[in-house]
Structure 1
Amino acid sequence: MCQHSVTILIFFIVVFAFYQESPLFMSTLVRKAFGSGRWFSGDGKALTKEVLGYIESASIPAISGRIVASIAPHAGFRYSGPIAGHTFRAIRDMPKENQPELLIIIGFSHSERISGAALMDGTAITTPCGTSQLDVESGQFLCQQSSEIRFDGRYHNGEHSAENEIPFAQVALPTVPLVVALIGDSGVQPLSKALVELNKRKRLTVVCSTDMLHDENYDKVLATDEKTLKDTENMDIDALQKAWSYQHQIYCGFKPVMCGLYFAKALGCQKAQILKHSCSGDGKPASQRDYNVGYGSAVMTIP
């Protein structure tokens, strides 16, 4: 092979490698939800009916202003679905002028340590409820704001924290595109600041995916969650940070919640509104409350 041909071959290898790692290349991917048939039903009609039922059954108090951030749980739908339904009904039922142009779903990894924020790659994601567009342009804008933010679909493969919110988004807001992120240790501040900048271009609503305390003691879960929700209502980040530890996870999705609180505060929100709380041990005899998980719904608004 002549030197000229070798040079051309190397050039094309380099170009291919570049585009393979770039969002433009990755954006050709239509992702399929990993949780289909695992965390939620794989039957489209059944899942849509189930999710719609949770949303329609939610009783929402009067909400003033535009919801800029929110909290929704992500456990198996039969446990967390009724609470998540409150969050998505509140967002769905906002006046037209306050409806989001883009929904940001923020989760975390249950199994891997993430540095910064990893955005879901691809142009769309499909669940049994339908297909949602992934806003690649907005994702690229976020990446431009900080080196801590990048497209990295590897962390999303098999992780349910953010993905479990997508069927609710598809039923409540079927035409609204998504940006789906998983954040880790160094991702909270960079992503919250980047979202503030993105909100200047598009009307955002952020969904922070988290369950609450997990513990064998039912009464402890109720008492802890009550205090956590009160601190969340007051947007008392210092109190929440002092209460949280790896041994006492008041929010398993603590970093998504912190990101949402910082974002909402930066936009002028001063108080969150708690919509609903439940525990997996509710309604069970004490003998069956061997392990309990709390679930909460909340929204943060601006005028």
Structure 2
Amino acid sequence: MRSRYLIPPMILILLASLLIFLGGSKERRGEGKMKEVPVRESVIAGSWYPGDPAVLRKEIEGFLRKASPPPVEGELIALISPHAGYMYSGQVAAYSYKLLEGKAFDLVVIVAPSHRAYFRGVSVYPRSGYRTPLGVVPIAEELTQKLISSPLIEYVPQAHAQEHSLEIQLPFLQVTLGDFRLVPIVMGDQDYYTCEELSRAIVKAIEGKKVLLVASTDLSHFYPYERAVALDSVVLERVNAFDPEGLSKDLKMGKCEACGGGPMVAVMLAAKALGA
């Protein structure tokens, strides 16, 4: 005989009330935060990259002149770029951003990891803009609002407040693209489920638009050279094979390291869905 478990009516009422509260909690939390969203000011200009606009532009142009990436056939949909200070990884980033010269993108979606704030799910900065010494990059509000309709995505102010990995991509984009609008995304969770859901939300939000996707990540840190090369080679093999699921598994099993592993996986999944 199959066992049955009866739940007292009062507990059922409490559970129903809890579900109603949880179901509306995202909207209620979001309403207060979204009433006034200021321009997100730079927190790393003058330290991670030059704070003087002329010096910053000159430095980026110098990086770009020295970069000679291999030619890419077909339409450019997405790229991966590091997020250390420019003195460490600016020249490496230039190999990605060099590919944007002569191209036009009105919209850029940047997916970055969270280094300083712990939160569940994914955060998108919903409106206003991001400021760098080169000016304010406006937010593509019609897209951020679509993303926030996803259960995993909301606006978490602390996710963006001190995060460097997203901001540090912007000056390169400002120099290579000029004017564009931004969808700034920071991932709190980087598991494969979150990556899949985020990629689906991005693809749905940008349907019919020409958009550049950018994944922000560094690779291994503080290892002897041979060990770092071995770890980083695992990431490169998965990226070259265009295997986001395999990359996610390798990261989970500790076969490689990338603080922006989730952003890479999410962007690769979205790029695949967009025809890459």
Category of TM-score, reference length = shorter chain: 0.7 to 0.9
Q: What's the offset of the Cα at 1:264? A: 1.1
Question: Higher mean Cα deviation, 258-267 or 241-250?
Answer: 241-250
Q: What's the offset of the Cα at 1:246? A: 8.3
Q: Is the aligned partner of 1:256 residue 2:267?
A: no
Distance 1:66 1:128, change over 3 A: same
Structure-2 residue corresponding to 1:272: none
The one of 55, 68, 77 equivalent to 1:68 is 77
Give the structure with the higher percent strand.
1
Quick one: distance in 1 between partners of 2:64 and 2:85?
Answer: 16
TM-score normalised by the chain length of structure 1? 0.75
Identity between Structure 1 and Structure 2 (%): 31
Quick one: distance in 2 between partners of 1:238 and 1:267?
Answer: 17
The one of 177, 181, 191 equivalent to 1:177 is 181
2:201 is paired with a residue whose SS is helix
Distance 1:164 1:248, change over 3 A: farther
Q: Is the aligned partner of 1:50 residue 2:59?
A: yes
Distance 1:55 1:153, change over 3 A: farther
Q: Is the aligned partner of 1:210 residue 2:210?
A: no
Residue identity matched to 1:151: Y
Q: What's the offset of the Cα at 1:202? A: 1.7
Q: What's the offset of the Cα at 1:157? A: 0.9
Structure-2 residue corresponding to 1:21: 32
The CA deviation string for residues 180-199 of structure 1, in whole angstroms up to 9 with x for no partner, is 11012264222210111123
Quick one: distance in 2 between partners of 1:174 and 1:136?
Answer: 19
TM-score normalised by the chain length of structure 2? 0.82
Residue identity matched to 2:186: L
Native 8 Å contact 1:31 1:122 kept in 2: no
Structure-2 residue corresponding to 1:119: 124
Native 8 Å contact 1:184 1:255 kept in 2: no
1:215 is paired with a residue whose SS is coil
Residue identity matched to 1:131: V
The number of residue pairs the alignment matches comes to 246
Quick one: distance in 2 between partners of 1:150 and 1:161?
Answer: 19
Q: What's the offset of the Cα at 1:263? A: 0.4
2:213 is paired with a residue whose SS is strand
Q: How does 1:3-42 map to 2 (within 5 A)?
A: 21=32, 23=34, 25-27=35-37, 29-42=38-51
Structure-2 residue corresponding to 1:135: 140
Quick one: distance in 2 between partners of 1:218 and 1:226?
Answer: 12
Quick one: distance in 2 between partners of 1:93 and 1:214?
Answer: 34
Q: What's the offset of the Cα at 1:265? A: 1.4
2:43 is paired with a residue whose SS is coil
Structure-2 residue corresponding to 1:234: 241
Quick one: distance in 2 between partners of 1:30 and 1:178?
Answer: 12
Distance 1:40 1:229, change over 3 A: same
Q: What's the offset of the Cα at 1:200? A: 1.4
Distance 1:52 1:148, change over 3 A: same
Q: What's the offset of the Cα at 1:247? A: 5.7
Give the structure with the higher percent helix.
2
Residue identity matched to 1:132: V
Unmatched 5+ stretches in structure 2: 1-27
Q: What's the offset of the Cα at 1:26? A: 3.0
